[in-house]
Structures are given as structure tokens and as C-alpha cells.
Structure 1
Amino acid sequence: MNKELLKTFKTLSISCRFKGYRHPGAVIYPGGIKYYPRFPNEKEQEITNPSKLFRVERIKPVKGTPWFYTKILRHLKIDEDARVTIVKNTPDTNAKLWKIKHLIKITPITFPYGEPTAEDINHTILKENGTCLVTKTLQPHPEQVKALEAFESDPKKMDSTTIKKDSRRKWDVPFGGGF
């Protein structure tokens, strides 16, 4: 009888060794990230061209978070001073973002008009929805340039000093006639 009792205790101790409930149906991504779909028959949408960059915005304060989360936030440079940063879409960075996903908001950056070149860096605008727009300097039309030159070289045009003198004379002598 004692041998049977010992066998049951052995099986109980072995079955209690693993910690936590392991939910079936996990999809494991590179970097050790496990994704559990909401519905079992749900198919994940295939992304053909993943974004190269992410816009990461801190939505919770750093104060009061554990030191290991604060260390990750400091490494990504979104601690108390900075609220938004741009990071690369790499497995190492994604693993760090996964650990602090409850503190941040991640938006993939898209380039609707093509990626900016080295010349366009000063003319880029990153919006909150993740679109990166390139706003280049506008060039005037040749007709506008010709019309401006014709206006400036017109002999009948009054310059600012003549207009000021005439306005002052009319102010000093209100009903004294005009030209």
C-alpha cells in the first residue's frame, strides 16, 4: 500500500513542476514572441512590405514603473524628457518593444510619396498617424516672375517713400487738395 501511495506522490510532484498554464494555439515569432489569436480560426493578415521604421510614443509616465522597464525606455530614448522616438524594425528592437507594450503606442511609418533622400531630410514632416511627407521648396511659375519684373519696372508705380510723403501731406492738410 505504501508503494502505491509513493507512486501517486511522485506523479503529483512531477506534474506540478511546470509553472503556469500553457495555452494551446500560440504562434511563435522570431525573437521568442508568442502571439495568441483572439479567435482560434482567425488567420493573420500577411504583410508583404513591413515598415522599416516605427514611431514609438510613450503614453504612460515613467515614474512608478519598475526599473527594468525604465531601463528599456531609457535605451530607446523615450524616458521623461522625450515622448516620441523613431526606431528600426528589427527583431531585437521588437523584443524590447514587446516587453513595454503597455507603456507605449507603436505606429508604423509609411512613405506615400517615396522614401526621402539625403537632400530631402530638411523637408520631411512626420505626422502622428505615421505618414512621412516630403515637402520640397516650391518654385514660382515663369509667368509670375515676368509679371513681377514688369510691375517693379513700371514707371507709373509709386514706391513706399512717395506713398508715405503723400499720406503725410494729406494728413497735415486734410482739405488742401490733392496732386
Structure 2
Amino acid sequence: MPLLQIFNPVKIICRNISKRQFIWYNEGIQYPGFKYYPRYPDFEDPPYEPTKLFRVEVIKPLKGAPYWEKHILKEFKLDGKKNSYVIVKNIPENNQRLWKIKHMIKITPITFPDGFPKEDDITYLQENGELKIIKKVNSVHENKLEISDNFRSDVKRLDGDTLRRQSRLKWLSGWDSP
């Protein structure tokens, strides 16, 4: 058998490489910006109230990061200092910029367990994202403070030193004597 009959260069064996096309009409759930295809057909989103604010903290150094990521961090006023964080609104524009630098930051949603603060409230933001309201001293407490100050400055009050002296005298002279 001649060699040309076994190997014929005219016959080219080629696999049919093509892109598989799946057509899923009306199967996904359309969200703003993407489409989600659930595993089960009776899938329902659990009720979720999105937070209004995020606490954003840098967890990686800026050294070696591309200029566009550094620029986004500068816009948020995060210059890579340790233990620095900013509070960012939960709006689509900010979420889009945060998505580009998600590998460099830690995002914590801010919750309000004591309710929303008012203008004159003093607040403290914890690392876990809870915004605590520090209670102010009101007039009732000021009255109590005034009463306790009067008690401490009263001459007739029985403090520890006076009680020890009187008890020692009673012990030495007996309980029946005046």
C-alpha cells in the first residue's frame, strides 16, 4: 500500500468547534444590571432591607496597585493609611466604583440598633458597623447629680471614717452608755 493512500493531505479531519448556544427565555430573574438564574424554579428572594451607608476600610497597601485603583481610593479619601475608614452612601455610582476596588477594601454595612440619630445626638461607630447613640445627661440626671453633690459635701453625713470612729468608741465604752 502506498504511503499516499494512507495519509492523504486533502482529507482534513476537523472537529466541529462551536459555541454552545443556550436559549433561556423568561427563566431568569432580572435585577438592575444583571440577570440571575436560580437553581430551583420556585426560588424567592428573602426579604432584605438594604443599608443606607457603608463603612469602607482599606485592607491592602496601595503599592503596586494600578493608577485607576489609586485614583478611586483618592476620590473616597482613602489614601492607604492604616485604621482609616470612610462612610459611603449606598448608591449605584458608589457601588460601581467600590466593585472595581473590592479586592483592596473591606465593606461593612452600617446598622442603627438604637434608631436613627438626631442632629444633637452623640454617636459612636463600632468596627462591626453598629452606630451606637450615646445618651445625653438630661435635667432629671442633673438634678440627681446636684443631690449627690450636696450629700457628699454635707457635714452631718456618715462617711466611713466617722462610722469607724463612732463604732470604736461604742466598742470601748459599751452599748448602754450614751
Q: Any idea what SS the aligned residue of 2:132 has? A: strand
Aligned to 1:116: 117
Q: Any idea what SS the aligned residue of 1:70 has? A: helix
Aligned to 1:62: 62
Moved more, 130-139 or 99-108: 130-139
Change (3 A) 1:143 1:93: closer
Change (3 A) 1:147 1:135: closer
Q: Which runs of 5 or more structure 1 residues have no equivalent in the other structure?
A: 1-11, 17-23, 158-179
Change (3 A) 1:100 1:154: same
Q: Any idea what SS the aligned residue of 1:133 has? A: strand
Q: Any idea what SS the aligned residue of 2:102 has? A: coil
C-alpha contact 2:56 2:85 (8 A) present in aligned 1 = yes
Aligned to 1:99: 100
For residues 67-111 of structure 1, give each alpha carbon's deviation from its aligned partner in whole angstroms, at most 9, with x where no partner exists: 111111111111224731100000100111111111111111000
Q: Any idea what SS the aligned residue of 1:80 has? A: coil
1:71 partner amino acid? H
Q: Any idea what SS the aligned residue of 1:134 has? A: strand
User: Which protein has the bigger helix share?
Assistant: 1
For residues 85-144 of structure 1, give each alpha carbon's deviation from its aligned partner in whole angstroms, at most 9, with x where no partner exists: 100000100111111111111111000111111101xx1100011000010233537456
Report the Cα distance in structure 2 between the residues aligned to 1:79 and 1:93, rounded to whole angstroms: 17
Report the Cα distance in structure 2 between the residues aligned to 1:94 and 1:135, rounded to whole angstroms: 30
Q: How does the TM-score come out when normalised to structure 1? A: 0.60
Q: How does the TM-score come out when normalised to structure 2? A: 0.60
Q: Any idea what SS the aligned residue of 2:99 has? A: helix
Between the two proteins, the alignment pairs up a number of residues equal to: 134
Change (3 A) 1:116 1:147: closer
Report percent identity of matched pairs.
40
C-alpha contact 2:151 2:157 (8 A) present in aligned 1 = no
* Mapped pair 1:40 → 2:39: yes
CA RMSD of aligned residues (A): 3.4
